Amino acid sequence: MLASGFLSAATVERHDEQKVPFFRQLGWKPGSVDNSLVRADREFIKYGYGPPPEVIDFFQDWEIDRVLVCGIQADTCVLAAGFALFDAGLQPTLVADTVVGSSLDRSGKLGVNLWRHHFGQVIEKHSDIL
């Protein structure tokens, strides 16, 4: 497992309509009891697309520069994580074969292409890391 070889953080989305009005605006809502699909050093609860500020603090506290990113919904949540990491002065790097897309593009290719356009840093295969 890739996460076990590095300092790792996972985000898990929860729904709270008072924090992010998914249902009011979009007519659907994220699950309320999802769990992380990977074992990570730290797990953070998020509401909405982007990671919570505590994730950025976690990486900055450890003086991490480059953050390898994978996840579900490459063209929404994963991309939002990239923007947050980039804006915090970190170097977000997508691991392309560890993402899937949203209902708009299940393959994840749209998200990978957007990532490449905005951040430039893409590792095509996780096996190229180790």
Please give the chain's pLDDT, 130 residues, in tens: 566 678 999 999 999 999 999 999 999 888 777 788 888 999 999 999 999 999 999 999 999 999 999 999 999 999 999 999 999 999 999 999 999 998 888 899 999 999 999 999 999 999 888 7
Task: Give the strands of the sheet with 122-123, arranged side by side.
Answer: 66-72, 91-100, 122-123
- Residue 35 is predicted with a pLDDT of 81
Q: What is the pLDDT of residue 3?
A: 61
Residue 23 has a pLDDT of 92
Greatest extent of the chain over all pairs of C-alpha atoms, in Å: 44
103 CB burial (10 A radius; 0-12, 13-18, 19+): exposed
Residue 58 is part of which domain span?
2-128
d(CA 90, CA 5): 20
Query: Alpha carbon of 117 to those of 6, 42, 62, 97, 130: distances in Å?
Result: 26, 29, 28, 17, 25
Domain harbouring 64, CATH code: 3.40.50.850
As for how many domains the chain has, the answer is 1
